[in-house]
Amino acid sequence: MAIHPIEYRYGHPEMKAVWNEENRLRKMLDVEVALSKAEALTGYIPEGADEKISHGARKVKLERVKEIEDEIHHDVMAVVLALAEQSGDAGKWVHFGATSNDILDTATALQIKDAGLILAKETGKLRSILLETALSHKNTVCAGRTHGQIGVPTTYGLRFAIWASEIDRHIERLGQLISRATAGKMSGAVGTQAAFGKKGIEIQEKTMEILGIEAADVSNQIIQRDRHAEFIMWMANTVTTFDKICIEIRSLARSELAEVEESFGKKQVGSSTMPHKRNPIKSEQVCGLARIVRSMVEPALLNNTLWDERDLTNSSCERIVFPESCVLADHVIRLTAGIIKNLRFYPENIRKNLELLNGLNMGEAIMIELSKKGVGRQEAHEIVRQCAMSARETGIHMKDALIKNETVSGYMTESEIIRIMDPDSYIGTAVEQVETLVKKLEKKRIDIC
């Protein structure tokens, strides 16, 4: 029976496949085989032994490894014995000179590399969706809001461009950190490579070259966990951006605003008791799961604070942190991409909210124009503030309050006031910013390994 929601509710098969038991075993066997090849190349084990070990690795079954582990209660040694069984007379050279974490940590590096590629690919897809949305809505003027209150106009295109730019920085960060997070090692029991003798450095370098990852410069019994913590913190940082995006979507989808809405299926049910409901459940799911991914940061950091050359407190923790973080982060990325791609816009509500304050939100435009005409900036601010307070208290339109003001009417005509207060003409360089960003980011490619 499935217990964890990752098993039946959350996560994509592609990312789950990276962290399942079978793939974990395959990665460990890949490391054992690479080690044997490196040792054969350096003359540390007999020539040809590596070929037999490689052939044996293809025949190792997860079921047999579990049988052995049930008997000896050591996961790595169970893999070693299962591989030795299938390697004939070369079985005595399996795992020669290595310690458990040479295999475990290097296998983890291979899994992180695969997970990183998936995360980069899916984040890149989301970036493209955001850029497309920004471009298609570059002229959709809407109410800007600060402190939850309506401010001067902005555009939906600029909002989506800002998110796309932020996600692009996450992609850059992933490309920068992935080589650090995917370093492997063959350093032995406490890091001295004593069991490999003088060939230790060469064996380590050749093993990692075969596997296609970097070798740690120095290590003790384990790869230092600052590398992994950086990767976990990247996921926490990245899903927080999606959390922010979906909070905004949820806010804009409120009944009182109703500017956007998640797609809603023809037979979809919003509430078990309120038939009219169309809840933003996908966005809420993103926000909820982002909390779980962020919660992985502390254990990831604490996994670096081990005793001496190492203790085992990181091991059980990482069996949860690595797969859960990657599976849920990937799930959140894909879910957010679907939300944005299928987002519905309601232009009539966007316009209604833009004009909700009867022109009060256009006070800055008047202030700037008065300043250009010779009124001091601070004086202009106070004049417009008084007009805004009067308009708010009396319920009249802001333009009428401005027209009534002798100072304002002395500097600009009624037609000028009406023209200046047109929200569509007060979006500055928003359109140009969107177009520039789209051109810049469309030229970039994703390549993290």
Q: Which residues are the active-site residues?
A: 147, 271
Note the Cα 401 to chain centre separation in Å: 48
Please state, in angstroms and rounded to a whole number, the distance separating the CA atoms of residues 236 and 239: 5
- Name the percent of the chain in helix, strand, coil, to the closest 5: 65, 5, 30
Sign for the pseudo-dihedral over CA of 443, 131, 286, 237 = positive
φ, ψ dihedrals at 414, nearest 5°: -60, -45
Q: Are 344 and 278 in contact (CB under 8 A)?
A: no
